[in-house]
Structure 1
Amino acid sequence: MPTHKIHEGRNIKRFREMLGIKQDALAADLGDDWNQQKISLLEQKETIDPSLLQQVAAALKIPAAAIENFDEEQAITVISSTFNDNAAVVYNNPTINPIDKIIQLHEEKIALYERMMKEKDEMMARLEKLIQAK
């Protein structure tokens, strides 16, 4: 049985899309020397330098191991072998579901964004009062 090589760039794209993050936004999170085109090229690479992979994982707020180990073919095999004839199988497995964790992180990111917007509005109101006072 041949070993299947994980395509790390494609996995970055999958996680980025699942999190609803655009290439421009990820580029901005990675720093000034990044842009949408550079993210696009990164997502085409089969293997990515481990230090860069750590940076991208941190920007996406997911473990680097998720990018390194996600194998779509294995996921499809598990799903197709688990569900057949419209039968649902329920496992009582106490492990953490990575998709649930990603959703939780995404919700936390939204809450942080909302707090930042509220603080911005409050700061703008204070600045307007200072301007009017002069």
Structure 2
Amino acid sequence: MNLDTTHKRVHQGRNIKRLREMLGVKQETLAIELDVTQATVSKLEAKEELEKDMLERIAKVLKIPVEAIENFNDEGALNFVANNFHTSDTATGLTITFNPIDKIVELYTEKEALYERMIKEKNDLIERLLEK
């Protein structure tokens, strides 16, 4: 018996969550656009496989192809988003392109700075309490 264990099954819900987060879309926002509850979005993100209709609706809201959700994997994830994310406004002719990797680094840096401020505030509070 020859079983192919190299092919991993795609977890569509997890892919939706990853793409949503990479694009900076909150669950609440996606829920509003889909006309469902935030809890429903959370359940969808936990499902391994979603109905084709729901995949199409989510892809439309996130402005990505359905194939991105169906074929998304760790190796191609950053490459896909980095090479394919841009938005255009036909009314103004404005095209905005940014590298999501830069956005991830920016968010990480902001979180790191917040963490450092919190530690400093905690240490300052401890010092004030010890002085009393």
Report the TM-score, using the length of structure 2 for normalisation: 0.58
C-alpha distance in structure 2 between counterparts of 1:71 and 1:29, whole Å:
25
Whole-angstrom CA distance in 2 between matches of 1:27 and 1:67: 17
Whose relative contact order is higher, 1 or 2, with alpha carbons under 8 Å and at least 6 apart? 1
Aligned partners of 2:24, 2:40: CA distance in 1, in Å?
Answer: 18
> Which segments of structure 1 move beyond 3 Å, counting only runs of 4 or more?
none
Over the aligned positions, Cα root-mean-square deviation in angstroms equals 2.5
What amino acid sits opposite 1:66 in the alignment?
A
Alignment of 1:44-55 (within 5 A): 44-55=46-57
May I ask how many residue pairs the two structures share in their alignment?
A: 86
What residue in structure 1 maps to residue 41 of structure 2?
39
Partner of 1:28: 32
Q: Unaligned stretches of 5+ in structure 2? A: 93-132
Which structure carries more strand by proportion?
A: 2
Residue segments in structure 1 that go unaligned for 5+ positions in a row: 80-95, 113-134
**C-alpha distance in 1, partners of 2:80/2:45?**
24
Secondary structure, aligned partner of 1:42: helix
C-alpha distance in 2 between matches for 1:101 and 1:75: 12
| TM-score, normalised relative to structure 1 | 0.57
